[in-house]
Structure 1
Amino acid sequence: MSAREPDAGRAAGADDVAPGFRTNGTVGAVAPEPGTNPAGAAAASGEGTGPAGSTAAPEGRAGSVAGPGMDTAAASSAGELEHSEPVVVPTEHGTFSTVGWRVPVPSGVPAAEHLSLSAPPPPEEAHLPPLVRLHSECLTGDVLGSWRCDCGPQLHLAMERVARHGGTVLYLRNHEGRGIGLINKLRAYKLQDGGADTVDANTLLGLPAEARDYTAAGRILAAMGLTEIRLLSNNPDKVAKLEALGITVTQMVPHEVHARHENIDYLRTKRDRMHHHLTHLTPGENS
């Protein structure tokens, strides 16, 4: 079975989102703060949705919005957050209300653009904090279907779970290779072919093992009213970074896909050296 097919890479029990690693947050429904963009909260709660689960447009018109909870000086310093109006995007994994986001970066650098894919929950799950998946851009895995990583299957599984249970997949650009960029990622692959693991390969290139910044994710989630969430992730560091940005993670919901022979060493390194919670590390289970 190809990794591009819907069931490839899926973990056993993937539809069950109740078990997880609890954090210190309080489980409860999410309501947008005054002045925030209600699109995300509407998608998560099912309120204000149109045909095919699409959310109503944010209040006012699409354009520049200051991040919620930020005072004027902070908003001016950080720059304005821009977004498109929600549009319905049907996919093989489900139908989503989709919003493009442009997040300012330091002067002289083009603004980064990201994408949120949201769906309302079924009535029986509407009382829960929404599921959120932060998915880092991976051209080789997401687009080409590379088996060197688990990114493609993780993206597909996240879309399926959010379509079924409600919530948001936030697709983060400029995170290629855990933040080192496409060319450097390919250079790291070359070193891995010579025996280095994914951590040592980055170090040999003079690069950090983890270079992703989640500030943009925090701003977008806050603008969507998603300040209390259940996070689809196996990575405790991602939880800690979101919490530091003011996002309450009530639960880290396991989001694991089965290993392949081509990526088993990579996944073991993520477990052993990067402290990811991974248990399905027997290759070939999904082949």
Structure 2
Amino acid sequence: MTIKLVTSTVLPTPFAEFRLHGFIANNGKEHVALTLGDVTSAEPVLTRVHSECLTGDALFSLRCDCGPQLEAAMRKIADAGRGCILYLRQEGRGIGLINKIRAYAEQDKGLDTVEANEILGFLPDMREYDIAAQMFQQLDVKHIRLLTNNPRKLKALADAGVNIVERVQHRVKTTAHSHRYLATKASKMGHMD
């Protein structure tokens, strides 16, 4: 799959005035990147590769930690005065929004997030990160300090050719609603502290 940078603009936020970059993949999917400051220098760029989560990012769901992770990344990058966030359109770990809602319904019956995906016929995590490497290349980002707790994401990005010089812990507060979700990510998917 290939992706192309098609437009950029200013995006004022409560945290900083970012540059918003729009990308279109050859499958028609649209992805965005936020940058702050000069991300093209040789100095490693504080970065978050964030997968879309409508329920967490826009609807403030407490079932996951996605919205708080995105907000924390924006704050950390604003505080640093320089950084990059790739926002990849791969809802529900790649299963799509409606299937994610179906997985939530299975979780309502007592399954964890991994079991819910599997009972619906999906792998626990179907996200792909090859386009992220192309996005970094088109933004001229050479080296990154990655905000993540996900070892699979680290490996997938490195395998795609992204030069990760450091993993930066990216933990947010656990809620009563997200406790089981986060525990499952740690126990079944190897997420780190």
- TM-score with structure 1 setting the length: 0.64
User: CA-atom RMSD, angstroms?
Assistant: 1.5
Q: Which amino acid aligns with 1:186?
A: I
Q: Which amino acid aligns with 1:196?
A: L
Structure 2 match to 1:87: 9
Gaps of 5+ in 1: 1-77, 106-110, 279-287
| 3-state SS in 2 of match to 1:118 | strand
Q: 1:98 to 1:190 in 2, by over 3 A?
A: same
- Displacement over 4 Å in runs of 4+: none
Structure 2 match to 1:222: 137
- Deviation, 1:128, is 3.6
Greater gyration radius: 1
| 3-state SS in 1 of match to 2:44 | coil
- Deviation, 1:79, is 5.0
Q: Say if 2:13 is the partner of 1:98.
A: no
Gaps of 5+ in 2: none
**Structure (1/2) with the larger strand percentage:** 2
Structure 2 match to 1:237: 152
| 3-state SS in 1 of match to 2:31 | strand
**Structure (1/2) with the larger helix percentage:** 2
- TM-score with structure 2 setting the length: 0.94
Structure 2 match to 1:114: 31
Equivalent residues, number: 190
- Deviation, 1:115, is 1.0
In the TM superposition, what whole-angstrom CA distance separates every residue of 1:60-100 from its partner, at most 9, and x where no partner exists? xxxxxxxxxxxxxxxxxx5562420x311111121101111
Structure 1 match to 2:177: 262
In 2, are the aligned partners of 1:82 and 1:101 still within 8 Å (CA)? yes
In 2, are the aligned partners of 1:135 and 1:172 still within 8 Å (CA)? yes
Q: Which residue, 79, 86, 92 being the options, matches 1:170? A: 86
Q: Say if 2:98 is the partner of 1:201.
A: no
In 1, are the aligned partners of 2:147 and 2:168 still within 8 Å (CA)? yes
In the TM superposition, what whole-angstrom CA distance separates every residue of 1:187-235 from its partner, at most 9, and x where no partner exists? 1111111111100111111111000011211110111122321101011
Structure 2 match to 1:271: 186
